[in-house]
Each structure stands twice: as structure tokens, then as C-alpha cells.
A and B are shown apart, each in its own frame.
Chain A
Amino acid sequence: MSVPAVLEASGLCVARGGRGVLNDVSLNIKTGTVTAICGPNGAGKSTLLEALAGLVPLQSGAVLLGGRALAEIPALQRARQLGYLPQAAEIAWDVAVRNLVMLGRMPHRDADHRIVQDVMKALDLLPFAARPVSQLSGGERARALLARVLAGTPEWILADEPLAALDIAHQDNLVCHLRQAAKGGAGVVLVLHDLALAMNHADRIVVLDEGRIAADGPGAAALAPAIIRRVWGVECEWLGSQGRFALSTGPAR
């Protein structure tokens, strides 16, 4: 079995507009796993994902990919290894879905039709291949955007809220694909607001609170009711069983 690659954040500090967004965040993520980053609004989840993708200037600390600082890796090589899906990605022009997905091949400087076709088939996008993106539903659009990332066959998939606009069937389908990608050796890092999705599908959950790591570990530990109460200020309990948890929130009984 091959040795997993590592994406490592060490002592990350990031400020935006003079305000510290990430404070001394250290993480060590391995390929072959699904990691969810959770936290309340403004906790720094998206910034952490951008930092892992090498897209924000760091005040201090470093992100290392396979032991090498991201900043030292040439942009195209980095792009082939790290696939990044931003939150609420806007699509500037009304391109057809197939052309949108083909953009994922840009880091490879090729137009590998077979890979694009496979990804579109896997994400149930072939029926819309020629459709302009303006004519897609929110869910179809979210799948097309994720397909663009997958078409680059990156070693790491860093996605910010990829499941937010999807119905439960497509959420399930997409999570399966992301899990499959992880099984196939990719490192999957997702920013998720839905704690139940994180609990049920992530191997590891990193909880951020005000730019610091509040909890880190498997779902049962990182999203224990006591931690949710402390970080989100919400009383809750987990219902159901392994892989089918649902979060019940409300005033304490």
C-alpha cells in the first residue's frame, strides 16, 4: 500500500482587513481521508481552506505539500495537485456545462475528453452537457462546479460548501463520489455547515472557533454535544446510529 501524502499547515496566522482570521492553526491531513472543517460563521473555515490551497498571504506559518512549502511549488504543478472549489463560485459567462468542466483540465494544459466525460457521467451531468450554465438549477450548477475540480484529477480536493445547494439525493451521490475519491487515494477537505453531514461522512472533523482549532478528531469526539454547546452556543443531542446521525437542537431539557 502506498504511503499517504501529507498536507500540513503549521502555525498559520492570516489577517484580513487588519483583523486576525486564523490564529496559530496547525493541521496535518493525509490523503485517503475525508476531513471536514466546521465552525460557526466567521470562524475562519473558508480562510483556512484558501490557506491550504495557497491562495491567501500568510502573516506567519507555512503550508507544506509533501514536505515542500506551497509557495515554492510552481503554480501549474500546484494546480495539478490541489483542486480548489470556492464558496458560492460565480460563473462570469454563460458557457456550456462541458466547457465549464473542461476548465478543470487547464492545469494539465490538455483537453482530455475521456476524463471529462467520465466525471460528467459520474455526477449525472451528461444530459446537460451542452446546456448553458444560466439554465441549470442550483443543484446542477453545484455539481458542474465540482465536476470542474474533479476533472483535474487532483491529489487533493479542497471544496468550500460543495453540498450546500444540493437536494438530499444529490448530496448523497456527491458524498459517495468524494468518499470514493478518498478511497482512491485523494485527500478530501470540505468546509461544511451541516454538522450531520460532517458527522456521518467525514473521517475527521476540525472545529474552528474564532480562528483557532477548538476540536480535532473523529466526529464523535470533535462534534460532541458539549463542544457544539461551547462553540455554537446551541444545546443539542445526536440521534440515530453510526453513519445515520441527525442533530436535534433546541433548548436544554
Chain B
Amino acid sequence: MLLHRLDARPDFRPNLLLALLIALALPVSLLAGRVWIDPATTPNAAVILAQLRLPRGLLALVIGGGLGAAGAAMQGYLRNPLADPGLFGIAPGAALGAVICLWFGAALPFASTGLLVPIFALIGAGGAMALLSLIAGRTGGIALFTLAGMMIASLAGALTSLAISLAPNAFAMSEIVSWLMGALTDRSWSDLWIALPLTAAGIACLRLAGTGLDALILGEAAARSMGMNPQRLQALLIAGVGLTVGSGVAVAGIVGFVGLIVPHLVRPLTDQRPSSLIMPSALAGALLVLVADSVCRILPLVTELRLGIALSLIGAPFFLWLLLRMRRRMA
């Protein structure tokens, strides 16, 4: 008799495939630009690669990885393929923190170090996480949690708009708007050292949430009957999404759509359980942001295309296609 495979262990092949693609894409990305670097002939190639391109490439991987993992976890938690890390209000919270820093600009102490914006953004993300825990953390209910996140997102968005409209001068306004568009231009190793440990810790939290997310496949009541602890799951998600998204926004501004698109691209490669999707989504997110950032550098425009804009240009039509496909299925 044919023995059916009843293996519910994760399949590592998607991870290996994506890791291989990253290993191929990273060296190409380091050389890519409007003027391609030839390590043998380009003057100062070693300095450009070591001080500009490598931290930028690695940062793209870190940010994309965090956003991809957060998107997969959010979709698993809300049991909704249209969910996105922005729904928890952590990205808008981090953006508000950064905008406040840019608003005050040089008036702040240590402004010249370049570390203030990420620090303020992390404080903003932390504030959003704390508020989210305070409002929804005790009940463990998903609906209240989501509404709390949307309220925080809306409030932080409104305050950000207020800060832009009341900007002290045109320079501050332009700096804020430009920062909000998201970019990896001129990022350094110090940005990487901020984002890397926080994102790694965030992804670790999201992976710990995997079992609870799997239980939610059958709905909230069945999941609780299987021993899923809703408060623990929420705490892991707040920490995981907060650390990944918060640190991403802190060093690169708002980079949208990665968390929405990537789980969809990767889901067919997995067994569809949310826990199986987190690592492949992290790797695919890393690859997507790396490639998108390289494309931003290559395009022959007057100024470099902002990463956030490039990803939105890819993401919005994808989102539309997703909606149309869902409509067709429902019909």
C-alpha cells in the first residue's frame, strides 16, 4: 500500500533557493549603478564597495527581511491575505518619531551624528508598541487589536501631516517629505548596526509566534481550544513586528508594500502554514528590496529614484491584481 507522507515539518527547499538567489544577487547589486563598478579599473573601487555599496546592500537585505517576515506574520495573524505590517501602526509611529527629529533638525543636541533620526524613529515605534499593548494586550482579541493598530496608524499619520504642514522652514519640510519616501541612499555601517540586531531579534520573535499562527488557521476559538495563548501571541507579534518594522523605518524611512507582496509571492512555494512562510518571506523580502534598490540606482534619472516610490510603483499594481484575482475566485 502506498504510504502517504504525513510530514508537517517545514520544507527547507524554498529557503535554500531564496538564499542562493540572494547569494547571486548581492555581488551583482554591489557593482550595479548608473556607472557600473569594475573592481579592477574603477578608481577607489575598494572604498566605494566597502563603505557605500556593501553596507547599503546588506541594509537592503536586513530591511527587506524584516518587512517580509512581518508581513507573513501579520497575514497569518489576521488570517487575511491583504494584511500588511502597517496595520499595527508601528511604521507610522516610527515615521512620526523621525519626523519630529527632522522638524527640530539642528536645534537638537548631537544632531550632527546622524544617529538621532533612527533613535527618534525607534522611540516612535516603541511608543506605538507600548500603546498597542496597553489598549489591546489584556484581552487577546484580534478584532480589538487590529482596530487599536489602525487607530494608532491614523493618529500617527495625522500628526506627521501636521508636522509637515507646520514645518519651520522649507528645508525641513523637504527633508521630512524626502525622508518619508524611503531610501537607502548614503546609508552607512552604523545604520546597519542599528537595524541588524533589532531585525534579527524581531524575526526570532515572529518565528516563536509560528505555532500560535498555525493554530489560528482554524479560527480564534479552535486555536484557543488547542492551547494557543492569545496574550503571548500578541506580545510576540508586537515585539516581532515592532522590532522589524520599527528598525526598518528608523534607517530607511517608509518602505511600503514589501510586507504585503512578498508573502503572496512565496506562499505557493510553501505548505501554506503561517509558520512555514515566515523565513521564506524574510528571504524573499530581502531579495526584493535588494533588487529594487539596485534598480533605483541603475535607472538613468536626474536624481535617484526613491526606494519607497519604486516599491509602491511595483506594489500598487500587484495589489490591484491580487484584488481582481480574489474577486474572480469569489465569483
Contact with B along A135-152 (1 / 0, CB 8 A): 000000000010010001
Q: Considering only CB atoms, which chain A residue lies closest to B3 in the complex?
A: A117
A82 at the interface (CB under 8 A from B): yes
- Find out whether the CB atom of A84 lies under 8 angstroms from the CB atom of B216: no
Q: Considering only CB atoms, which chain B residue lies closest to A74 in the complex?
A: B227
Q: Which of B76, B79, B226 contacts A103 (CB 8 A)?
A: B226
Contact A117/B221 with A96-B271, A107-B227 known, Cβ cut-off 8 Å: no
A236 at the interface (CB under 8 A from B): no
Contact with B along A76-113 (1 / 0, CB 8 A): 10111011111001111111101111111111000101
A126 at the interface (CB under 8 A from B): yes
Interface residues on B, range: 20 to 34
B187 at the interface (CB under 8 A from A): no
- Find out whether the CB atom of A111 lies under 8 angstroms from the CB atom of B8: yes
- Find out whether the CB atom of A79 lies under 8 angstroms from the CB atom of B4: no
- Find out whether the CB atom of A102 lies under 8 angstroms from the CB atom of B6: yes
- Find out whether the CB atom of A85 lies under 8 angstroms from the CB atom of B222: yes
How far is A101 from B271 in the complex, measured between Cα atoms in Å? 13
How far is A83 from B131 in the complex, measured between Cα atoms in Å? 35
Within 8 A of A (CB), among B216-235: 216-219, 221-222, 224-229
Contact A79/B217 with A93-B274, A98-B6, A130-B5 known, Cβ cut-off 8 Å: no
Q: Considering only CB atoms, which chain A residue lies closest to B2 in the complex?
A: A126
B178 at the interface (CB under 8 A from A): no
Q: Which of A50, A93, A106 contacts B227 (CB 8 A)?
A: A106
Contact A111/B9 with A75-B227, A75-B229 known, Cβ cut-off 8 Å: yes
How far is A89 from B217 in the complex, measured between Cα atoms in Å? 10
Contact A79/B227 with A86-B221, A98-B8 known, Cβ cut-off 8 Å: yes
Q: Which residues of A contact B7 (CB under 8 A)?
A: 98, 111, 113
- Find out whether the CB atom of B8 lies under 8 angstroms from the CB atom of A102: yes
How far is A126 from B219 in the complex, measured between Cα atoms in Å? 24
- Find out whether the CB atom of A55 lies under 8 angstroms from the CB atom of B226: no
Contact A89/B214 with A95-B272, A98-B5 known, Cβ cut-off 8 Å: no
Q: Which residues of A contact B272 (CB under 8 A)?
A: 93-96, 99, 132
How far is A83 from B224 in the complex, measured between Cα atoms in Å? 11
- Find out whether the CB atom of B217 lies under 8 angstroms from the CB atom of A84: no
Q: Considering only CB atoms, which chain B residue lies closest to A117 in the complex?
A: B6
Contact with A along B204-222 (1 / 0, CB 8 A): 0000000100111111011
Q: Which of B4, B76, B227 contacts A98 (CB 8 A)?
A: B4
Q: Considering only CB atoms, which chain A residue lies closest to B215 in the complex?
A: A106
How far is A92 from B83 in the complex, measured between Cα atoms in Å? 13
Q: Considering only CB atoms, which chain A residue lies closest to B4 in the complex?
A: A129
Q: Which of B4, B216, B225, B229 contacts A83 (CB 8 A)?
A: B225
A21 at the interface (CB under 8 A from B): no
Q: Considering only CB atoms, which chain B residue lies closest to A96 in the complex?
A: B271
How far is A20 from B299 in the complex, measured between Cα atoms in Å? 65
Q: Considering only CB atoms, which chain B residue lies closest to A53 in the complex?
A: B225
- Find out whether the CB atom of B226 lies under 8 angstroms from the CB atom of A91: no
- Find out whether the CB atom of A103 lies under 8 angstroms from the CB atom of B215: yes
How far is A130 from B271 in the complex, measured between Cα atoms in Å? 10
- Find out whether the CB atom of B217 lies under 8 angstroms from the CB atom of A116: no
Q: Which of A84, A94, A104, A105 contacts B221 (CB 8 A)?
A: A84
Contact A95/B271 with A106-B214, A111-B9, A130-B5 known, Cβ cut-off 8 Å: yes
Q: Which residues of A contact B9 (CB under 8 A)?
A: 111
- Find out whether the CB atom of A79 lies under 8 angstroms from the CB atom of B273: no
Q: Which residues of B contact A55 (CB under 8 A)?
A: 221, 224-225
Q: Which residues of A contact B224 (CB under 8 A)?
A: 55, 75
Within 8 A of A (CB), among B53-81: 76, 79
How far is A31 from B273 in the complex, measured between Cα atoms in Å? 34
- Find out whether the CB atom of B6 lies under 8 angstroms from the CB atom of A113: yes
How far is A111 from B211 in the complex, measured between Cα atoms in Å? 13
Q: Which residues of B contact A104 (CB under 8 A)?
A: 226
- Closest Cβ–Cβ distance, residue A155 to chain B (whole Å): 14
How far is A90 from B219 in the complex, measured between Cα atoms in Å? 6
Q: Which residues of A contact B4 (CB under 8 A)?
A: 98, 117, 120, 126, 129-130
Contact A92/B79 with A102-B8, A130-B5, A148-B218 known, Cβ cut-off 8 Å: yes
Contact with A along B1-28 (1 / 0, CB 8 A): 0001111110000000000000000000
- Closest Cβ–Cβ distance, residue A172 to chain B (whole Å): 25
Q: A75-B227, A106-B226, A129-B4 are in contact. List 8 more A-B contacts (CB 8 A).
A: A50-B221, A55-B225, A79-B225, A90-B218, A92-B79, A99-B8, A111-B8, A132-B272
B interface vs A, CB < 8 Å? 4-9, 76, 79, 211, 214-219, 221-222, 224-229, 267, 271-274
Q: What would be 30 A-B contacts, judged by CB atoms less than 8 Å apart?
A: A55-B225, A75-B227, A79-B225, A79-B226, A79-B227, A82-B225, A86-B222, A86-B225, A89-B218, A91-B218, A92-B216, A92-B219, A93-B274, A94-B272, A95-B217, A96-B271, A98-B4, A98-B6, A98-B7, A99-B271, A102-B6, A102-B8, A104-B226, A106-B211, A106-B215, A111-B7, A113-B6, A117-B6, A120-B6, A152-B226
